[in-house]
Amino acid sequence: MALDSAALAWFRRDLRAFDHAALHAALRAHGAVHCAFVFDTEILDPLPARADRRVDFIWHSIAELQGSLAALGGGLHVLHGRAREEIPRLAARLGVAAVYANRDYEPQALERDREVADKLAAAGIAFYTRKDQVVFELDEVLSGAGTPYSVFTPYKNAWLKKLDDFFVKPYPIEKHADRLARSGNELPSLRQLGFAPAAMALPAGASGGQRLFADFKRRIADYAKKRDFPALKGPSYLSVHLRFGTISIRELARFAWKRKGAGAATWLSELVWRDFYFAVLAARPDVVDHAFKPEFDAVRWDDDDALWRAWCEGRTGYPLVDAAMRCLNQTGTMHNRLRMVSASFLVKDLGIDWRRGERYFAEKLNGYDLAANNGGWQWAASTGCDAQPWFRVFNPVTQSRKFDPQGKFIRKYLPELAHFDDQAIHEPRAPVVDHAVARQRTLARYAAMRQ
């Protein structure tokens, strides 16, 4: 592209004005770069609540992004409508030669981008995408046979072998910032978008992500020891920032890779899992609605609505499961160990289809990410790639005693149990199912499928 042409940088899951692959590419190739974000009604309209923490987070992040671009000499067009219509319309009005965006790997997003690309092409406008939300894309880490991995450990080994400074270097924006166009408009209020402020605001924007990351850097040495205990401050708490790109995956991976010690190595492994699930989704988009292992689509679920509601509302009678679900409902977060325990309980104690649980998490989690959430649920249900064996069933009481030994997490979210001692607090009370009986039913359910 000639430097006398203009471009449009379309922000989506990358709400930051630094280390931004698509914006960097546009700035290097064009003399003027406009920026845009769309509050996409295709995503927003189906949301069940008008006071949605994620929308609140996005709004505050966009407000900060607008300020960051302004400080660099640019502006931001903030649109409200269907992105597949708004972006081609804006590109035509601005007279740009190309639109740049960072790649999204979800099936719905890919379909949207194909339509946008077609509309832009009809108007003589190019559409370019860049890798930004992962360290490695599908075709960058393949098996020796040239096929996608379906088992994590060999994928991780290949991922780590391929990693070098090139893949985690930042994309500088400041050195080309004089090419940012000042065009833009005022940010509409949340109410103008049809939403209300969330009751519990999250630390939003790039500044919020950096504050959390700075705090985690001081704690990362203990990550391997603390990460499985929900009452401890072990995780990074960066999931929502990774989801909306208010922090760069390259910055996180670079830090973890360069840092020595078990904590950093364990956390880097979690970032590799993230890439792995993105690769699985890109290679097998059918996993959104089907088991990765097709034979497991034959599992016959009970799908008892009363048991489903008990799980959703934290009324199963198993303290750790109920505390986990009440935490999710109240805060939009759930500790990774508790995700495994609560998912296993829904599928293997209550006999309910994993897809219902995945969709419930999609509705509730602040940092919901389709690839990782789907992968985690299929792992728990034994239907996915590299999943736990179908005959392995978590015992919720054993998990409770092991990972919340003093009942601190349980007491926080089930205050009605606070008076029980550290031993008694883990025991089921009026449980909706007997775990031993439920386990036998699960073994029979999967065995029948295999036959």
Rounded to whole angstroms, the Cα distance separating 407 from 446 reads 33
Give the largest CA-CA distance in the chain.
Answer: 73
32-40 sheet: strands from edge to edge: 77-81, 32-40, 6-11, 98-102, 126-130
**Catalytic residue, candidates 59, 308, 377, 379:** 377
* Strand pairing category for 6-11 and 32-40: parallel
**Catalytic residue, candidates 42, 251, 270, 427:** 270
Which contiguous run of DSSP H or E holds residue 11?
strand 6-11
Q: Is 374 one of the annotated active-site residues of the chain?
A: no
**Catalytic residue, candidates 115, 140, 251, 301:** 301
**Catalytic residue, candidates 10, 354, 379, 390:** 354
* Strand pairing category for 77-81 and 126-130: unpaired
Q: Using the 8-state DSSP alphabet, how is residue 327 labeled?
A: H
DSSP symbols for 311-323: HHHT-SS-HHHHH
**Strand, helix or coil for residue 77:** strand
Cα angle vertex 315, ends 357, 405, to 5°? 90
Rounded to whole angstroms, the Cα distance separating 118 from 190 reads 31
How many CB atoms within 10 Å of residue 153?
A: 10
**Catalytic residue, candidates 115, 329, 336, 363:** 336
Q: Is 157 one of the annotated active-site residues of the chain?
A: no
Q: Is 336 one of the annotated active-site residues of the chain?
A: yes
Q: How far is residue 25 from each of residues 98, 100, 101, measured CA to CA in Å?
A: 11, 8, 9
**Strand, helix or coil for residue 390:** coil
Rounded to whole angstroms, the Cα distance separating 244 from 375 reads 19
- Dihedral of CA atoms 320, 244, 130, 19 in degrees, nearest 10, equals -110
* Contact (Cβ atoms closer than 8 angstroms) between residue 317 and residue 431: yes
Token pair for residue 285?
């988009």
**Strand, helix or coil for residue 54:** helix
Rounded to whole angstroms, the Cα distance separating 25 from 309 reads 48
Q: Is 329 one of the annotated active-site residues of the chain?
A: no
**Catalytic residue, candidates 59, 159, 273, 308:** 273
Q: Give catalytic residues, as residue numbers.
A: 270, 273, 301, 336, 354, 377
